[in-house]
Amino acid sequence: MPYARISLRKGKSPEYIRSLSDSIHQSLVEAFDVPVDDRFQVIHQHEPGELIFDTHYMGGPRSDDYVLICVTAGRLRSPKVKQGFYKHLVQLLQNSPGIRPEDVMVFINTTQTDEWSFGSGNSIVPQA
């Protein structure tokens, strides 16, 4: 189960936000081996000055449409799968909602299964 935290500047329409969310989820399903109904996202919209980024560091030039996507995943993926996900993601985001690939930054963190609880205080790992 990946959990995505998405950060961008305030000012986008609800349609833009929905398209952003949908494209990220579609890429996770199609290129990161995530079930269709496994969708957990939090979208943070920031005032100018609250989302600080270098416009040229390791990419760019980045614009005010910069989006930071942090994916926390419950299992490891191969470098090939991760690279395929990155490429697929920027293609989908470029198509809808129209984000330039240079404005997309992604981080993937991996946790162990016992570090997740889906509700009722239960871990997904059976107790010994």
Check: CB of residue 68 under 8 Å from CB of residue 105. Answer: yes
The reply to whether 2 belongs to the active site is yes
Sheet holding 41-46, edge to edge: 41-46, 3-9, 67-73, 104-110
Catalytic residue among 2, 14, 35, 97: 2
Helix extents (H) in the chain: 14-31, 79-95
- From the CB of residue 87, how many other CB atoms can be counted at a distance below 10 Å? 13
Token output for 2 = 């990946």
| Amino acid in position 106 | V
Active site residues: 2
